[in-house]
Structures are given as C-alpha cells and as structure tokens.
C-alpha cells in the first residue's frame, strides 16, 4: 500500500440543498372560478450521504474533492403537486469510516457494512403549500411556507483499517520487516523512528491455501494516547484488528516494562482494546542462542503467550503464523 495513495483522514465542507417553497396557488378553472387553495409542498433539499463500499480501502478520492454540494428542492405547484426533491450526493467510503462533526468533535456514526447508507448532513425541508393551512375559519389562506435553508458544515472522516492481525510496537521494533517477510507488501523499512507513517496491509499465506490480513501500524511511543508523536492518528486503526501482535526487540533493556507501556497506551486510548486476544513476539532473536532465550524467558512476567522469532533469519515464522491462526479461530 503506497503512502501517497493511502489517505485515512479528510475534512470536507458540506452544503446541502435548500428546501423548495410551498405554493400559495388557488384553483381557477372554468367550472370552479372560486376554487380553494391547492398549492403544493416544496421539495426537500438534497442530503449528503455516506455509503459503505467494501471494494474501497482509502479516502484518497475525497482528498481533492473537499467541497460537497447538494441540489436545492423545487417549489410546489398547482393542483397540490409537490416540488421535486433536490438530488442527494452519495459519497462511497471504505468500511471502517467514522464521521465526526468538526466543531464539536462528536462522532456521528461509523460505516461498518457494505451498502450501509447514513445521512452525513440533511437537506432543508420543503415548505408547505397553502392547502395545508385551510380551516373552517380560514377558507382561503393566501400564504405558504418558504423552504428551510440547507446546512453548511465541516465534517471529518476518519478511516479505521480492517485487518485480522494488527502489529503493535515501538518505532523500529521490526514490524515493517516482519510484514515484508510474511506477505507480498513492500513497506518502507529504515533504522529510524516513524519509518511507517501510514498503515501497511499485507495478506499472509497460511496452510492449505488459507490466508489472513496483517496490518503494520505506525510505531507507538509513550503518551501517544495523549497525542504525542503520531498520536491517535494511528491508534484508531488498532480498534478494528481481531488479534493484536505485540513486537518487542530481543535487545530491549526491560521487555516487561516495554510491554506495559504499550498496553497502557492502548488502555488509555480505548480500554476495550484490552479485550482483544494478544500475543507477544520477541523480534530480532537471531542474535540469541538457546541459553540467552532461556534467560530472557525467566525474566518475562506477563499474562499473555510469547515466542521468539527473527524476520531476517526466518526463525520462528511458521510457529508465529500457527499461533496467530489459532488465536483468530478461537476468538
């Protein structure tokens, strides 16, 4: 997945259509020269809608189309004929798209199913024609309602990547290297922090033609849940992963402490993330012999399964896939 083609955050200006005015028409025909009010209602202004599309994986198409405008409704006519509704604007978005109000930060809804349609911003209601106001004391109302004006607001769309396995770790923990080894993905790899600036997805081939999707999430640093570093811009992607794979390098000074920092950041961002199945994989273990692995194992004090592996030496890769597959099936 190219970083230039992957867009997971867009702010768009939305303006919906005005509602059409109601008509104040009176029926005037040869056989009914003094006919009553028959003005029709105005049509509703066009909505702006979001529709889930399972074939899409980025918000790139909205990056350069940031001003969305819907059509106005038509005015009502005679013979109680209603004006036509303004044409809605339907924006297709990937599954996992969250819509928010820019001013309040309120989450409006999340698109999770293919074909799901939600109203992002409503069009103005059409005005009522004068026939609606006829009464026993007012047989010939000469007024009708104007249509409601449309709304103009900024909306924020955020995408949460969907994957079976999400890689969780500090920058330069070996996540991108692992993804490049077990999938056909070609993430950028470098020996410095924040090599990965956008999520990378890859399909992991498993036994008997089976497969699962793995996501390399940009590295977490302490206080990321408060916005430090790349902050919550990437933590949200972890919310849609089925299994969380924690990667900590074998040469880390204190593996227990490192794991706890990562866990705390997830809990501070969203406590429900701790309900997901977790596996600790100790990366870069090609530098360890059996004795060193045993010594490190004796120091590990965490409540989840763990294993050692090396992407470079292809050590423990099969065992890692087996463990992930078993966790996905038992979820």
User: Cβ neighbours of residue 206 under 8 Å, at least 6 residues apart?
Assistant: 212, 321, 325
Regarding pTM above 0.85, the answer is no
Q: What percent of the chain has pLDDT over 70?
A: 87
- The three-class DSSP label of residue 212 is strand
pLDDT tens per residue, range 83-112:
999 999 999 999 989 999 999 989 999 999
CA distances from 249 to 1, 102, 168, 170, 301 (A): 25, 39, 12, 9, 16
CA distances from 190 to 43, 63, 184, 194, 281 (A): 58, 28, 18, 9, 20
CB-CB neighbours of 253 under 10 Å: 6
Q: Which domains are present in the chain?
A: 1-159 (2.70.210.12), 163-330 (3.40.50.300)
Pairing of strands 9-15, 67-69: parallel
Pairing of strands 152-159, 97-101: antiparallel
User: Looking at residue 7, what is its pLDDT?
Assistant: 79
User: Looking at residue 179, what is its pLDDT?
Assistant: 86
For residue 2, count CB atoms less than 10 angstroms from its CB and return exposed for 0-12, middle for 13-18, buried for 19 or more.
Answer: exposed
Spans of the chain below 70 pLDDT: 1-6, 30-33, 184-198, 219-234, 331
- The three-class DSSP label of residue 61 is helix
User: Looking at residue 202, what is its pLDDT?
Assistant: 82
Task: Enter the DSSP assignment of 218.
Answer: P
User: Looking at residue 45, what is its pLDDT?
Assistant: 98
**CA nearest neighbour of 20 among 151, 129, 132:** 129
Alpha-carbon torsion, ordered 25, 29, 35, 39, to 10 deg:
-20
CA distance 255 to 60: 38
SS (H, E, C) 37-87: ECCCCCCCCCCEEEEECCCCCCCHHHHCCCEEECCCCCCCCCCCCCCCCCC
- The three-class DSSP label of residue 18 is coil
């Amino acid at each position: 997945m190219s970083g230039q083609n992957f867009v997971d955050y867009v702010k768009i200006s939305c303006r919906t259509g005005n509602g059409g005015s109601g008509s104040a028409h009176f029926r005037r025909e040869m056989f009914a020269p003094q006919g009553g009010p028959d003005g029709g209602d105005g049509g509703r202004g066009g909505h702006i809608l979001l529709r889930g599309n399972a074939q899409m994986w980025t918000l790139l198409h909205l990056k350069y189309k940031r001003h969305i405008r819907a059509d106005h409704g038509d005015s009502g006519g005679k013979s109680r004929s209603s004006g036509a509704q303004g044409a809605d604007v339907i924006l297709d978005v990937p599954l996992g798209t969250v819509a928010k109000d820019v001013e309040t930060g309120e989450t409006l809804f999340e698109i999770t199913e293919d074909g799901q349609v939600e109203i992002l911003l409503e069009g103005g209601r059409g005005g009522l024609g004068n026939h609606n106001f006829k009464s026993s004391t007012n047989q010939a109302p000469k007024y009708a309602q104007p249509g409601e004006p449309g709304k103009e607001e900024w909306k924020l769309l955020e995408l949460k990547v969907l994957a079976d396995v999400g890689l969780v770790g500090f920058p330069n923990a070996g996540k991108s290297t692992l993804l490049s080894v077990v999938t056909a993905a070609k993430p950028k790899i470098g020996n410095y922090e924040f090599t990965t600036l956008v999520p990378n997805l890859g399909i992991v081939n498993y036994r008997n033609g089976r497969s699962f999707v793995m996501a390399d999430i940009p590295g977490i640093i302490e206080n990321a849940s408060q916005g430090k570093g790349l902050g919550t811009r990437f933590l949200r992607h972890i919310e849609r992963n089925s299994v969380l794979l924690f990667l900590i390098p074998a040469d880390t000074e204190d593996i227990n402490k490192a794991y706890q920092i990562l866990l705390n950041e997830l809990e501070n961002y969203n406590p429900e993330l701790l309900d997901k199945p977790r596996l600790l994989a100790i990366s870069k273990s090609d530098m360890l012999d059996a004795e060193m692995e045993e010594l490190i194992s004796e120091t590990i004090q965490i409540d989840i399964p763990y294993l050692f592996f090396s992407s470079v030496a292809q050590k423990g890769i099969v065992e890692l896939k087996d463990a992930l597959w078993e966790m996905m099936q038992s979820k």
